[in-house]
């Protein structure tokens, strides 16, 4: 099994096949110098339209549809398994304000951020939680 997949599999709600799929779609995490790059690659960021000093946020961008799909599916299980996590709290807050679909995408982005830093630091979910979230 891939080293990245072993790390990702330590996250509650992500099983063996999910971790392998995520690791395969990400490839080498070092090709993303910043978390914003992996968000754009996945398509979990809103489109931004600017005109003068006005800025409008639109629908999420197109990106790696397979990685986006598996992250959204995994985050739904993560929300059940980790009811007190910051990702779950953010999901609930956004769901009240903006609806379920936007909350799922935002929670998937938070999950991807966690995966990104876990892979960059080569640490499991437990040590990531102990160290504190970024």
Q: Is 43 helix (H, G, I), strand (E, B) or coil?
A: coil
Q: Per the domain annotation, does 21 fall within a domain?
A: yes
Q: Give the number of C-alpha atoms closer than 13 A to the C-alpha of residue 72, restricted to the C-beta side.
A: 16
Q: Per the domain annotation, does 37 fall within a domain?
A: no
114 Cβ contact partners less than 8 Å away, ≥ 6 residues apart = 11, 87, 125, 128, 133
The confidence score (pLDDT) of residue 133 equals: 56
The DSSP output letter for 45 is S
Tell me the pTM: 0.87
Phi, psi angle pair for 48, to nearest 5°: -120, 125
The residue segments making up the domain with residue 121 are: 3-29+64-126
Per-residue confidence in pLDDT tens, the chain, 134 aa: 589 999 999 999 999 999 999 999 999 999 999 999 999 999 988 777 788 888 777 777 788 899 999 999 999 999 999 999 999 999 999 999 999 999 999 999 999 999 999 999 999 988 777 666 54
DSSP annotation string for 9-32: TTSTT--HHHHHHHHHHH--GGG-
Cα–Cα distance, 36 to 15 (Å, whole number): 25
The confidence score (pLDDT) of residue 1 equals: 59
Q: Per the domain annotation, does 39 fall within a domain?
A: no
Contact call for residues 39 and 112 (beta carbons, < 8 A) = yes
Structural domains counted in the chain = 1
């Amino acid at each position: 099994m891939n080293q990245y997949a072993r790390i990702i599999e330590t996250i509650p709600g992500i099983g063996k096949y999910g971790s392998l799929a995520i690791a395969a779609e990400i490839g080498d995490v070092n090709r993303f110098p910043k978390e914003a790059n992996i968000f754009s690659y996945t398509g979990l960021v809103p489109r931004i339209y600017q005109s003068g000093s006005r800025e409008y946020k639109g629908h999420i961008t197109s990106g790696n549809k397979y990685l986006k799909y598996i992250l959204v599916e995994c985050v739904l299980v993560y929300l059940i398994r980790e009811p007190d996590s910051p990702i779950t709290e953010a999901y609930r807050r956004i769901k009240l304000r903006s609806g379920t679909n936007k909350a799922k995408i935002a929670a998937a982005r938070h999950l991807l951020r966690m995966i990104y830093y876990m892979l960059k630091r080569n640490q499991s979910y437990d040590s990531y939680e102990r160290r504190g979230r970024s």
